[in-house]
Amino acid sequence: MIIDVIGISILSIFLLFIISKKNKIISDYYLMLIIILFSGILGSDIWMKNGLSLMSFLAHLFFNTFTFPCLILYGLLLISENGKVKKRWFWVYGYGTVFFIFIVLDTMFFNEYNADKSISNLLESPSMVYLFLYNGHYAFVIGVLLWFLKKINNYRKRIKNYYSSIEFIHLNWFRYFVYTFLVINVLSFFLFLSFNLGIITNINTPFNIVYALVVLSLFYLCYNGIRHYSNINIKEFQDSLQLRNNGNAIESGFEKYKSSSLTDNEMNSLFEEIKNLFDFEEIYLEPQLKIDEIAKQLEVTTHKISQTINSKASKPFYDYVNAYRVNHFKQLLSNPENRKFTILALGIESGFNSKASLNRIFKQTTGMGPKEYQKKYSKN
């Protein structure tokens, strides 16, 4: 119960922080809804511990059932092209709604569960229908999470076609949360299945394990949703991506486009112009370089720039730009005169906008860290 009280207090602080934010967008309101629903889980848990009843049981079931689809809608809003809710997304509420309606009808109309003992019997000796729907709900959640992971991975590929710096919009924190939530649900499925089969005899054992993991993961979500989610960057991305995707459908991978008016000769010519901007004007030194800026300079669409780089360089815009930054940074590191400058200062000079992105991209490209490279290749 102490964990529940502490959790509600922390979530209240998160909620007040979001309420105080200016220029809120739809995803902010969904994060607020998730915090309220999760607070409801903790509050109803306190209610049940003070005395198990039909109403406390149904309240706890309601908050547990509908927190998950709200999480998925929140994630879909973060990766959507315009930040608006789409009607076709609401299928994620389907299974949970059917399950909850069945339990309400079963407990309030089909059977007598008014006494605490009866509710305990329902939890400890559930009917076959209840077991089927309950375990089926785990299968549904796991399937939806796998589906969403594919969506967020496609999102990450998409933004690399238009941005050279994605630290504020890559949503790694949410992807990590989804992976954690997936592991929790797989574990939950096997724990409760083991209880149903008699392998685990105490229902509190699987419940406490799963509950602790869910509490920690949702605290992580709320904290990072506030700390890392930048309204300005996400909104800017959604607006610009919506314009770029009007009539331009990009296939998975980065070598084929469904529609294009560019011939191979035109792409070769355009690629030479792009290379000139990078080789001679060193446009990659701009930390927040976006494909829009190149498109404006060359007076072509962002789609044509993206297609040309993907086709001729065999890599997305993000990797193309950062390859130039890494090469520039390597030249600075190998010059002994630059030893008086910090690694970060040289990285910023090369177009990187943070120490984390500098170290990560440089090590992915060279297989070693900046300091190790400097010691190995510095000119005498």
Q: Which domains are assigned to the chain?
A: 2-240 (1.20.1070), 248-377 (1.10.10.60)
Q: What is the pTM of this model?
A: 0.77
Which residues, other chains included, contact 163 with Cβ-Cβ below 8 Å and sequence gap of 6+? 169, 237, 290, 291, 317, 318
Return the percent helix, strand and coil in the chain, to nearest 5: 75, 0, 25
Query: What is the 3-class SS of 110-156, one letter each residue?
Result: HCCCCCHHHHHHHHHCCCHHHHHHHHHHHHHHHHHHHHHHHHHHHHH
The DSSP 8-state label assigned to residue 229 in this structure reads: -
The tokens describing 131, both together, are 């077991």
Question: Would you give per-residue pLDDT tens digits along the chain (380 residues)?
Answer: 777 787 788 888 888 888 887 777 888 888 899 889 989 988 998 888 887 777 888 898 899 889 899 999 999 988 887 778 899 999 999 998 998 998 888 777 776 554 455 566 666 666 777 778 877 888 899 999 999 999 999 998 888 888 888 877 788 888 888 888 898 888 888 877 777 777 777 766 666 777 777 777 777 777 776 665 544 445 555 555 554 454 343 333 434 444 456 788 999 999 999 999 999 999 999 998 999 899 999 999 998 999 999 999 999 999 999 999 999 999 998 888 888 899 999 999 999 988 888 999 999 999 999 988 888 876 55
Which residues, other chains included, contact 211 with Cβ-Cβ below 8 Å and sequence gap of 6+? 45
Read off the pLDDT of residues 296-355 as tens digits, 9 standing for 90 and up. Answer: 999 999 989 999 999 999 999 999 999 999 999 999 988 888 888 999 999 999 999 888
In the chain, the amino acid numbered 191 is L
Helix (H) or strand (E) segment spanning residue 271: helix 264-279
